[in-house]
Amino acid sequence: MRDLRTANLYSQAYIAEKLNIQRSTYKEYELQNSIIPIIHLNEFCNYFKVSIDYVLGLTSKKNYSNSKIAIDPKLSGQRLKELRKKHNLTQKELANMLNTDISLPSKYERGIYPIATVYLYSLCKKYDVSADYLLGKTNYPQYL
């Protein structure tokens, strides 16, 4: 995040304003002392026209063609469910893998919540799949 910001000669305060957050909050994201919520991460990526995969360090490719701006929780949930079933996991096993409550995978799969950044990264690494694909921003899995 810092590299993108500084390459474009923006201050932390400027980016924080674009994300509608405090500069101190943004600073913590940039220093990796705090995990950026997926909504802010998506806004950041959209602002710089880069993929979420790129910012998460999952690929060196900066963006994908035909990428959507919005995260689609319903599509994301469908894709998560497909991946979970493809790997023969129950929701309980997925919850255990993510070290979270059993109800969270169900809420993700039903599209109630977008996948949180901390879990998104783990899921992408586990299933070798693009975060942008998993979030419904692109239609190509872009295996990592």
**Which one is predicted more confidently, 65 or 130?**
130
pLDDT tens per residue across span 44-54: 999 999 999 99
Which residue range is the domain that position 36 belongs to?
2-56
Q: Establish if 109 belongs to a structural domain.
A: yes
**Other CB atoms within 10 A of residue 12 CB:** 18
Task: Render pLDDT for 53-106 as a digit per residue (tens, 0 to 9).
Answer: 999 999 998 999 889 999 999 999 999 999 999 999 999 999 999 999 999 999
Q: What residue type is assigned to position 88 of the chain? A: N
Torsion from C-alpha of 125, 127, 132, 133, nearest 10 degrees? 170
Q: For residues 96 and 56, give the distance between their C-alpha atoms in angstroms, rounded to a whole number.
A: 23
Based on the fold, state whether residues 79 and 128 are members of the same structural domain. Answer: yes
What number is the average pLDDT over the span 105-126?
95
Taking the CA atoms of 79, 85, 88 and 94 in sequence, report the sign of the dihedral they define: positive
User: What pLDDT, on the 0 to 100 scale, is given for residue 144?
Assistant: 67
Residue 66 inside a domain? The answer is no
Number of domains in the chain: 2
C-alpha 144/C-alpha 141 separation (Å) is: 9
Q: Tell me if 45 is assigned to some domain.
A: yes
Question: Looking at the domain assignment, is residue 63 inside a domain?
Answer: no
**C-alpha span between 63 and 22 (Å, rounded):** 27
| pLDDT exceeds 90 at position 132 | yes
Provide the CATH number for the domain around residue 113: 1.10.260.40
